[in-house]
Amino acid sequence: MAALKRIGVWDIQLGMVIVKCDKAGVPFNEYGRPLSNLGYIHSLHDYGVEHVYIWSETESTEKKEAAKKDDKTKAVEYKVAKDDDVNAILLSSAAELVHMLKENFTESMAGLKMGKAIDTPAIVDVVSDIIFMTSDNPEVFTKIALSEGMTKDEYTHGLNVCINAASLGQAVGIKGKELHDLGLAGLLHDIGKVRVPEQILNKKANLSEYEMAALKRHPEYAGQVLQRYDNIGEDVINIIYQHHECCDGSGYPSGINAQYILKPSKVLAIAEAYNTILTYSPEFPRAFNNTDAIKKIYAEAGKKYQADIVKTFVSIMGVYPVGTAVTLSNGAIGIVCEVNKQDQARPKILMMPKDSPEKIELVNLKKHPAIKIVKEINNTELNINPFEIFNNFLQDRITHQVQKTE
């Protein structure tokens, strides 16, 4: 028979099957299956977990073999990601998570507009999943967000901001409950816009002074909408309320300066601005590309945005953020799949020859000095979904590895 064994959180190893932890209320969705990502260990520790219970080595051979068989593809997937040094465990599980969150959020928001309550437990759970998935590597958020793309759709925007904010928050030392509150605030930051007239939200021309004043009340409206939900605490509402405040006091709704702005709100401000700059909005009537968006945020470091947080954000994103489509000096098209922090102008890319785009090759530009990035191009103009390209490339590798092991 299987037996439980209590071990310290730092003694957890890949492949162990965690049954429970020593602290109640910790969001963890990997119970009962072999652990495939060591990032979960850090997340458990951040939530105050000191010990976990695992199936011991006395577990029956039959059950262990069944577990190995069920998790074979996942284990190979981890190995491929590590061996290829793509630095991304983004694949199908990430896509499923993003789609599930968008579906839940879309349904909840649509219901809210008709006077129904939000399914907050479902939203809270999936935000926990996102935090766990991004804990191992702050850069993974861009790869997950790519599965839905950068659009002005209010649900996709909230999702992308949530992923950006949670990952950036971890990179600047936000942990535990505060990190989870930040993730929820990222997802729900625009929920107050349900009380702003749609003709203002959808207006393509410049807003009048009256219309802009109405729009700027949405952080205040968010608190009015969310205060009815017991599992959305005051801390989440306060983060949302301040996410348009600026360090120099030029923001809204209160016009406070950096001294009085919550750190999670400063993170959320950058995550929200990045996604907003990339898409149409009343604040940014023209959509910019990744590089321009980062430049605009960097130009406001120490003014609108906290300088040290901007510096961390830029280091994560790189000159060419993950998912950026570029033209190369050899005529091929490339999709950035990993930032090179030592030389950000020479990232790792998936290269697609112009005449044979199906022949995808992983290329580290650092090791190929003759190939240079000429310019960034718009994904939508090329009808490219970077996530699908990443996914197809790595799934082909996984299939090949599985066949070799059979």
Q: pLDDT tens, 299-308?
A: 999 999 999 9
Could you report the per-residue pLDDT of 311-368, keeping only the tens digit for each? 999 888 878 877 788 899 999 988 887 778 788 889 888 898 877 766 788 899 999 9
How many structural domains compose the chain?
Answer: 3
Residue 381 lies in a domain: yes
Distance CA 200, CA 192 (A): 13
Same domain, 110 and 229: yes
Residue 286 lies in a domain: yes
pLDDT at 100: 63
Q: Given this model, what pLDDT does residue 201 score? A: 87
User: Looking at the whole model, is its pTM more than 0.85?
Assistant: no
**% the chain with pLDDT above 70:** 66
The whole domain housing 8 covers 4-70
Going by C-alpha positions, the residue among 384, 388, 367, 387 that lies closest to residue 376 is: 384
Q: How confident is the model at residue 62 (pLDDT cuts 50, 70, 90)?
A: very low
- Centroid of chain to Cα 144: 6
- Which of the four pLDDT bands, split at 50, 70 and 90, describes residue 147? very low
- Region of poorest pLDDT, from 56-65, 105-114, 360-369: 56-65
pLDDT at 222: 95
Q: Average pLDDT for residues 10-16, to the nearest whole number?
A: 84
CA distance 239 to 182: 7
331, part of any domain: yes
Q: Which of 18-22, 132-136, 268-272, 354-358 has the lowest mean pLDDT?
A: 132-136
Rg (CA), the chain: 22
How is the beta sheet containing 51-55 ordered, strand by strand? 4-8, 51-55, 18-21
297 in a domain, yes or no? yes
Whether residues 151 and 266 share a domain: the answer is: yes
On whether both 142 and 257 belong to a single domain, the answer is yes
Highest mean pLDDT among 80-94, 188-202, 382-396: 188-202
Q: Any idea what the CATH number is for the domain that residue 137 is in?
A: 1.10.3210.10
What's the pLDDT score for residue 22? 72
Which pLDDT tens digit goes with each residue over 154-191? 667 888 898 889 989 999 999 999 999 999 999 999 99
